[in-house]
Amino acid sequence: MSLISFLGAVELGLIYGLVGLAVFLSFRVLNFPDLTVDGSFPLGASVCAAAIVAGLDPFTATVLAILAGAVAGWVTAVLAVRFGILHLLASILVMIALFSINIRIMGRPNVALLGQTTLFTPFEGQAFLSFDLARILVELVVVAVITLLLARFLHSELGLSLRATGANPKMARAQGIDTSRQVLGGMALSNGLCALAGALFAQANGFADVTMGLGTIVVGLAAVIVGETLFRLKGILGALVACLLGSLLYRLVIAFALDVDMLGIQASDLNLVTALLVGFALLAPKLRARMRAAR
Amino acid sequence: MRVDRRSFIIALLITTTLPVRGWAADAPLVAITAIVEHPALDACRDGVIEGLKQQGVAAETTYESAQGQPATAAQIARSFVGMAPAVIVAISTPSAQAAASATKDIPIVFTAVTDPVGAGLVTDLARPGGNVTGLSDLSPLAQHLDLILEISPQVKTLGIPYNPGEANAVTLLRLMTGYANERGIQVVEATASKSADVVAAARSLAGQVDAIYVPTDNTIVSALESLIVVARQAKIPVFSGDTDSVARGCIGSIGFDYFQVGVQTAAIVARVLKGEKPGDLAVEVAQGTDLVLNPTAAAAFGVTIPEAVLSRAAKIVGA
């Protein structure tokens, strides 16, 4: 693996780390299997791209993207909580609706940001930083700030109510927590994060495409589960950092799979190789424990 | 903190220290990528590889597919940049955009991209500048007009139904009007913003035009039959911009054989490999090579397709 492809993996790993955090919030904290992320990731990208092309500054565009994602998550939660639609189904409905909405927002299926001013532009082309490192640095700062804020939030009274809602809704209600409001807020937060990831992806890679949401949930879940299994970090901050590390490892595995050119592996086997490597990473600690026990 | 630190570090070391594939210095590397496995895109890739052989270029090639995921396309682009190939060939718009944002130095030749300017790949088709050039698969409108005139030489006015809400269709209308005016043919527009309006658009053209050209407009194409019924009654021949519509009752069209699109792309790659700068090479438009004709449909309009045209057809449809 070359340095450039390594840095590329780190860059994508950071962006998809935000998706990992979003999925951690919905699946783990709220216990809400949410597929909306497949729609809110491209939603963030579309809103951000459309806003930048329309002449807004990239910072405002990114904030708009986060708000749009939050609305999408809120709609899913309203369908599930207020109208009693099964949560999985509610999120699928919003996800497929977002496909059309994203095309509406962009006016076409693909909007280019190549050559436009993005969040990264002020840092690119600086003498002391290379092209790739500048982007990674910006992403690292954004992801670190978000992670710390999220950890702090989850330790606050509001955050604790959110966690109680997911852990034991009956008990939470008995404690006077309005659980439906917690779900609405938590889902908005989760999808806002996912939209932020989409907005960063579009700005870093120069385009927003309506198909880019495909499999976002799979990547997010992989980050959460790989992180949990391999890095058993303590506490809420630990769990969040584990999601980020899981996402980084997932991207490194793909970079590795792209590099393997032996045993008759062909380009179309990429997803299989990735699945096998992630599966192996998940099994490795167990295998090691078993070997140790046998000794 | 009970990190399984050792397995993580070992995994990291294994993945990062894997040998970078070495390429023979005398054979330049051409790295090809596409967004997804798809018959047309795969044919295009095979065409590029075959075309390079035909050009007599000794080049190593490698190929990766993003399997439908733009995030993977971005990662493939970085991986390619790390290999430092002589040329990156990017098939499809997202793959080309990912490559263009990953490098400003390595030459990129895109192909199967409909609108390179709209996609932000180049600012000027004639002089792209920078490190990007390639081949656009925009509908071969000039060739379509040639076909119409060859089969119905008496055409003086051409009717074009389209949906003003479809950006693609508006572009095609504008370009086709330009080509037609150059040859002294007048274009009559008819708009239909939903498929139910297509009949009315067709009726408005009846009696006004000598032929109808249906561009690749999703609204019109989805209600094509209703247009053809009206046109048959009025004996106005209908031609289409896409080859799939020919079997549905249009006289004919010219489409792409994506293998040939790949071969045409390889010619650009070869020029870059010989040292020309991508920024100096104008973006080419793919040659339509697949002539599809429907003589039965032609007869229904009272038109006979000349033998010279029939003999060139790649495919004859309609019983």
How do residues A164-203 score in pLDDT, each as one tens digit?
999 999 999 999 999 999 999 999 999 999 999 999 999 9
Q: Do B149 and B106 share a structural domain? A: no
Mean pLDDT of B116-130: 89
pLDDT over threshold 80, residue B127: yes
Q: What is the pLDDT of residue A255?
A: 85
Averaged confidence pLDDT in chain A: 89
Q: What is the pLDDT of residue B1?
A: 41
pLDDT over threshold 70, residue B258: yes
Q: Do B261 and B242 share a structural domain? A: no
How do residues B101-114 score in pLDDT, each as one tens digit?
999 899 999 998 88
Instruction: Compute CA B28 distance to the chain's CA centroid, rounded to the nearest angstrom.
Output: 27
Q: Do B72 and B13 share a structural domain? A: yes
Quote the pTM value. 0.77
Distance from CA of B136 to the nearest CA of A (A): 16
Q: Which residues of chain B make contact with A233, given a CB cutoff of 8 A?
A: 1-3
Q: Do B251 and B152 share a structural domain? A: yes
- The interface residues of chain A toward chain B in range 108-167, judged by CB-CB distance below 8 A, are 108, 110, 112-116, 131
Q: Do B123 and B162 share a structural domain? A: no
Please report which confidence band the pLDDT of residue A140 belongs to, taking 50, 70 and 90 as the band edges: very high
For residue A32, what is the DSSP state? -
Q: Are B70 and A113 within 8 A, CB to CB?
A: no
A202 vs B: CB within 8 A: no
| Coil vs helix vs strand at B240 | strand
Give me the amino acid identity at A122: P
Q: Are B72 and A234 within 8 A, CB to CB?
A: no
* Candidates B1, B16, B82; nearest CB to A4: B82
CATH label of the domain that carries residue B297: 3.40.50.2300
Q: Do B181 and B107 share a structural domain? A: no
Q: Do B231 and B175 share a structural domain? A: yes
Q: What is the pLDDT of residue B291?
A: 93
pLDDT over threshold 80, residue A145: yes
Helix/strand number for chain B, H first, E second: 12, 14
On whether the CB atoms of residues B192 and B222 are closer than 8 A, the answer is: no
Rounded to 5°, angle at Cα A276 from A271 and A278? 95
Q: Do B204 and B88 share a structural domain? A: no
Q: Do B149 and B65 share a structural domain? A: no
Mean pLDDT of A211-216: 85
The phi and psi torsions of B3 (rounded to 5 degrees) equal -80, 140
Q: Do B154 and B266 share a structural domain? A: no
Q: Give how many domains chain B has, as a whole number.
A: 2
Q: Which of B177, B179, B238 is nearest to B210 (CA)?
A: B238
Distance from CA of B37 to the nearest CA of A (A): 8
Q: What is the pLDDT of residue A262?
A: 60
Q: What is the pLDDT of residue B4?
A: 58
Q: Do B261 and B250 share a structural domain? A: no
Q: What is the pLDDT of residue B13?
A: 53
The nearest alpha carbon in chain A to B36 belongs to A268
Mean pLDDT of B121-144: 91
The nearest alpha carbon in chain B to A218 belongs to B69
Q: Do B76 and B28 share a structural domain? A: yes
Enclosing domain of residue B76: 5-137+257-285
pLDDT over threshold 60, residue A247: yes
Q: Are A256 and B63 within 8 A, CB to CB?
A: no
**Assembly ipTM:** 0.77
Beta bridge partners of B158: B187, B211
Please report which confidence band the pLDDT of residue B153 belongs to, taking 50, 70 and 90 as the band edges: very high
On whether the CB atoms of residues B289 and B267 are closer than 8 A, the answer is: no
Beta bridge partners of B157: B186
A231 vs B: CB within 8 A: yes
B69 vs A: CB within 8 A: yes
pLDDT over threshold 90, residue B165: no
Q: What is the pLDDT of residue B22?
A: 45
How do residues A82-97 score in pLDDT, each as one tens digit?
999 999 999 999 999 9
Dihedral class, residue B129 (left if φ above 0, else alpha if ψ from -120 to 50, else beta): left
Residues whose CB falls within 8 Å of the CB of residue A263, separated by 6 or more in sequence, listed in order: none
